[in-house]
Structure 1
Amino acid sequence: MDQLRIYTLADKETAVQYFTVSWAKHRINLPKFGFEVKGVCGHAPGNANQVIPIVSFPDESDPHEMTERYLKSPDFAVDTAGFDLNKIINVETKILRSTI
């Protein structure tokens, strides 16, 4: 099962920082929690203040529980050290299931 995540940040500069620094670390640490990072997009015209990853996880898993476990971990604290999490103004998630 895949999940599209859309992080809307306060401005373009914050999005660039989140994309280049925090997501570089997330890509390393998320697999420890059962996630596979399939890709991360950012800086596109029309959504310059967004970071949009697609992550995958086992079908029988609970993505909310997995996410909460990661958010409460020391790895997440390291990944976001020096980043003001209050500058993430919205997070939208969508489960993607292949029908083919």
Structure 2
Amino acid sequence: MMIQLRIYTLASKEAAQKYANVHWKRHIESLKKYGITTHEVYVESSGQVPTRVFAIVSYEGTDLRSQNEKYMASADFKADMKGFQMSDIQGVEEILIESISFDSDVL
């Protein structure tokens, strides 16, 4: 399973809140159709502007980028983003991550 941390930089706190609470909420259901599972979505609470939204997603295959590109070209994505100013997204970073299992002897 591939796990990815996605970091979205939004132009304002308001845009970040709207993106996370409205549009990412829509993404959760739509992404399932493309084999992508959303595990967590967070909004930065430091008060900084621009503000970031963090999402942790996973995919059972080996080509998460391809599946994500299919989703972003779909009618599902367009519907999910309806009413959102795409220019409010100033940047997107995608980082593949993996879980670490600690032995009790190590601690």
TM-score between both structures, scaled by the size of structure 1: 0.91
Alpha-carbon distance in structure 1 between the residues aligned to 2:99 and 2:24:
25
Change (3 A) 1:14 1:75: same
SS in 2 for 1:98: coil
1:35-54 to 2 correspondences below 5 Å: 35-46=36-47, 49-54=51-56
**Unaligned stretches of 5+ in structure 1?**
none
Paired residues, number: 99
Q: Partner residue of 1:62?
A: 63
- Larger helix proportion of the pair: 1
Aligned-residue CA RMSD (Å): 1.4
Q: Partner residue of 2:91?
A: 90
SS in 1 for 2:33: helix
Alpha-carbon distance in structure 2 between the residues aligned to 1:57 and 1:68:
13
Q: Which amino acid aligns with 1:52?
A: F
**Runs of 4+ in structure 1 displaced over 6 angstroms?**
none
Q: Which amino acid aligns with 2:35?
A: G
Alpha-carbon distance in structure 1 between the residues aligned to 2:48 and 2:56:
16
**Unaligned stretches of 5+ in structure 2?**
102-107
Shift of 1:46: 5.0
Q: Partner residue of 2:74?
A: 73
TM-score between both structures, scaled by the size of structure 2: 0.85
Q: Partner residue of 2:6?
A: 5
